[in-house]
Amino acid sequence: LINRLTINETYFFREPEHIDLLVNVLIPQRQAASDDRPIRILSAGCSSGEEPYSIVMALIERFGEAALAEFRVIGGDIDSQVLAKAKKGCYNEFSFRGVSVERRHRFFDRVNGVFQLKEAVRQQVSFHELNLFAPTMTTELRQFDVIFFRNVSIYFDTPTRKIIQQQLIRLLTDQGVLLIGSAETLANDLGVLSLVEQKGVFYFTKTANHSLAPKI
Across the range 3-29, mean pLDDT stands at 82
12-21, 26-35, 200-209: which has the minimum mean pLDDT?
200-209
- Reported as a pLDDT band with limits 50, 70 and 90, residue 34 is low
Closest CA to 75 of 45, 120, 40, 54: 45
pLDDT band, very low/low/confident/very high, at 108 (cuts 50, 70, 90):
very high
Does residue 1 carry a pLDDT above 60?
no
Q: How confident is the model at residue 91 (pLDDT cuts 50, 70, 90)?
A: very high
What confidence score (pLDDT) does residue 98 get? Answer: 75
**Beta-carbon contacts of residue 193 (< 8 Å; ≥ 6 apart):** 165, 169, 178, 204, 205, 206, 207, 210
Which range among 12-16, 33-37, 96-100, 102-106 shows the weakest confidence by mean pLDDT?
Answer: 33-37
**For residues 173-183, average pLDDT:** 90
CA distance 85 to 107: 17
Whole-Å CA distances, 12 to 9, 58, 104, 162 = 11, 11, 10, 28
Q: Give CA–CA dist 102/149, Å, rounded.
A: 27
**Whether pLDDT at 208 is above 50:** no
Q: Residue 149 pLDDT > 90, yes or no?
A: yes
Helix (H) or strand (E) holding 81: helix 80-88
Mean pLDDT over the full length of the chain = 87
Instruction: For residue range 160-172, list pLDDT tens digits in order.
Output: 889 888 999 999 9
The pLDDT score that the predictor gives to residue 184 is 79
Higher pLDDT, 115 or 156: 115
Section 174-189 average pLDDT: 85
What DSSP designation does 27 have? H
Do 175 and 164 touch, CB atoms closer than 8 A?
no
Would you say residue 154 has pLDDT above 80? no
- pLDDT at residue number 9: 59
In the chain, pLDDT over 90 holds for what percent of residues? 61
- Average pLDDT for residues 42-60, to the nearest whole number? 96
CA–CA gap between residue 177 and residue 42 (Å, rounded) = 10
